[in-house]
Amino acid sequence: MDARQAVIEGKTFLGIELGSTRIKAVLTDEKYNPVASGGFDWENKLENGMWTYSLELVRQGLMASFRQLSDDVRRCYRTELATVGGMGVSGMMHGYLVFDKDWNQLVAFRTWRNTTTGEAAGALGSAFDFNIPQRWSIAHLYQAILNGEEHVPRIGHLTTLAGYVHYMLTGVNTVGLGDAAGMFPLDGANGYSARLMDIFDGLIAHRKLGWRLGDILPKARNAGDNAGVLTPGGAKYLDPTGVFQPGIPLCPPEGDGGTGMAATNSVAERTGSVSAGTSIFTMIVLENELPMLPEVDITATPAGKPVAMVHCNNCTSDLDAWVKLFGEAIEAVGQKADKSALYDAFYRKALEGEPDCGGLLAYNHIAGEHMLGLEEGRPLFARMPGSNLSFPNFARTLLFSAMATLKIGMDILAGENVRLDRLNAQGGLFKVPGVGQGLMASALNVPVCVMSCAGEGGAWGIALLAAYMMQKKPGETLEHFLAKKVFAGDTGSCAMPDETDSGGFARFMQRYIAGIAVERAAVEHMRNM
């Protein structure tokens, strides 16, 4: 069946992801090939000390990305996008998104990027004997309780960004297991841990808030479950023109970690994915249980398998700022600055830099970084008087800085004998072929592979989960579906560690670790400048 006929007959799958810098919609055919796409650029804002996005912008961005997708379908296939065979929503994991019982928003969305819940995360970790990262929804909730915030007794619903959009489309309050694992600890594929929920309810019982945790969390659903259908109101929420029709089945909404794993075929033991954009994180599917590690989150695949997640709040934002600055400098002398060419130059020249960056050092922390105990970010660039400040070394330093904090967490996993055959990569750091991929392979000492459709990211990943819901055979696992049907022998393009680059990165990391005290001092002494 050609793509046009598949679109006309609704034999397609739609995935929508709300990422940190872009909302993207991807349409695939029955064989999982992307056939159309649309997008909307957006950015978080720092308001009243919190990184946030407005829900009105969520609505506008969804409509804009869907409109672009529909225009793409109309242009390419001379038909309207009226229906699909299945669809799903993905979004940034974690954070704090709370509503009253009637779904009126109580406080601004507090995203994963905020590092203001250290007290709550520490207290819950001790009570649960389970690491609770500052980003997790339960840490945000407990911090709001400890702070005595006035909205807390009125909470009726606590959800994620993907869960919120799914509710707007279906009227069903649910999240997938991978997304749920960033809200509260799971008991495997059984959903939230009942034992830990009881402990939490005990911690807050004396406050007489009028609700228990189970009352406000969304239902956790396994990959492959049907999670509702598109309502008439949901169809209008995406497409006010009325062309797109209700009645379409939706899979459970998932976090960007879970859809990244699906998009890179990284849901089986000893596989892992790395996503590198505004933030950078790895998701490693575990063979064995780990001890409690404050630097490592235990989350889950969309099917509930335990995953070690090393998450760092900062990756390419500082690099983006430097590229913008260089573009302004080029335009100041009367030349045209092409954004794509600038990025290509930064990445390509990084390969020409000295292995250890010539003695240069950078910290890319726009936001706080829990891995280093930093509540706030202070981007810094430093060098010794004798350092070799060249453009190739400068570019290489920015790329190494984007990977450095992740390296600290990955070394902790290596020390716990977590075995990994390869990392499957996606995200902006890998858009220039071979550069970020090769440097990361050397930095982490593991092969880093990019799959053929990795550029479509989590939007494609959630479309695959929608396809799994509709096409799976009885008893067929998600691992089998992805490995045998979707990827079917596609091993991607892999970069192997290079001995010279690995040695250079190790020397860079020695400087990086030694200089962390400077970064901490910058946070302390540059608060009110």
pLDDT tens digit sequence for 344-392? 999 999 999 999 999 999 999 998 998 898 989 999 999 999 999 999 9
pLDDT of residue 169: 98
Q: Among residues 110, 149, 102, 144, which one has the least CA distance to residue 124?
A: 144
Place of tokens 């920015």: 398
CA 266 to chain centre: 15
Per DSSP, the three-state class of 398 is helix
CA contacts within 13 A on the Cβ side of 345? 14
What's the pLDDT tens digit per position in 492-525? Answer: 789 999 999 999 999 999 999 999 999 999 999 9
* Cα separation, 152 vs 148, whole angstroms: 8
**Mean pLDDT score, 95-102:** 97
CA 79 to chain centre: 33
Q: Among residues 451, 497, 442, 152, which one has the least CA distance to residue 273?
A: 451
Per DSSP, the three-state class of 190 is helix
**Mean pLDDT score, 103-129:** 94
Tokens of 93: 């994991």
Domain boundaries, the chain: 3-76+83-236+248-256, 317-409+498-525
What's the pLDDT tens digit per position in 283-294? Answer: 999 988 899 898
pLDDT at 454 over 60: no
pLDDT of residue 455: 58
* Full strand arrangement of the beta sheet holding 297-300: 297-300, 306-312, 280-285, 271-276, 422-426, 448-450, 493-495
Q: Among residues 44, 42, 51, which one has the least CA distance to residue 23?
A: 42
Q: Among residues 126, 302, 289, 107, which one has the least CA distance to residue 200?
A: 126
pLDDT at 434 over 90: no
* Cα separation, 348 vs 325, whole angstroms: 18
**Percentage helix, strand, coil, to 5, in the chain?**
45, 20, 35
What global pTM score does this model have?
Answer: 0.85
Q: Among residues 468, 89, 485, which one has the least CA distance to residue 252?
A: 89
Q: Among residues 165, 198, 204, 172, which one has the least CA distance to residue 184?
A: 198
pLDDT of residue 490: 74
Mode of pairing for the β-strands spanning 493-495 and 448-450: antiparallel
Helix (H) or strand (E) holding 332: helix 317-332
What's the pLDDT tens digit per position in 211-231? Answer: 999 999 999 999 999 999 999
pLDDT at 270 over 90: no
Architecture of domain 3-76+83-236+248-256: 2-Layer Sandwich (3.30)
CA contacts within 13 A on the Cβ side of 283? 32
Average pLDDT, the chain: 94
